Amino acid sequence: MKSCKLSWLLVALLLIVVAVFSYKFTVGEVKPSDDGRLAVQLSKDERNGLLLEMRTWLQNSQAILAAVSSQDFAAVATIAKSSGMAAEAATPGSLFRKIPVEMKALGFDTRKKFDEIATDAERLKNSQHTIEQISIAMKNCVACHATYRFVVAGK
């Protein structure tokens, strides 16, 4: 009888642990920022790593537009692919816990959009279509920047 009670206690304890972890995973580590956005709390290296990824995204977006303007669809595909889901593997696992779930969704969606740009550039070779896709993908950049900041925790 005693061991039965103990197992229930363990089950309850485990459920609480799971609940706490899923909660943390969903909301991430954010604090309100004085500019009205949400500040994601990171280590210095994590912040630097993400900002480098961001600059690569900007550089690639420009390079895609340059390639479209010279009708170089092979280049469009290569550059867009390097901003797609394949690049996600470089993101360290520790970050996943800190980034809120909506932000992760927006990030993944942006990567998927770059993969679509790559596939369509190879398939359709239609500059009007690629430009439209870039414009739509960049709405994600705008939306995320309007909502979030990256700060070094404790600063």
- Binding residues for ligand HEC (CB under 6 A): 51, 54-55, 57-58, 61, 103, 106-107, 110, 137-138, 140-141, 144-145, 148-150
Least Å distance, CB 13 to ligand HEC, is: 35
Least Å distance, CB 50 to ligand HEC, is: 7
Name which of 76 and 137 has its Cβ closer to ligand HEC. Answer: 137
Name which of 46 and 73 has its Cβ closer to ligand HEC. Answer: 46
Least Å distance, CB 11 to ligand HEC, is: 37
Name which of 2 and 155 has its Cβ closer to ligand HEC. Answer: 155
Residue closest to 55 by CA, chosen among 154, 150, 122, 152: 150
The owner of tokens 């500040």 is: 39
Name which of 19 and 58 has its Cβ closer to ligand HEC. Answer: 58
Label the pairing between strands 30-32 and 148-152: unpaired
Least Å distance, CB 66 to ligand HEC, is: 14
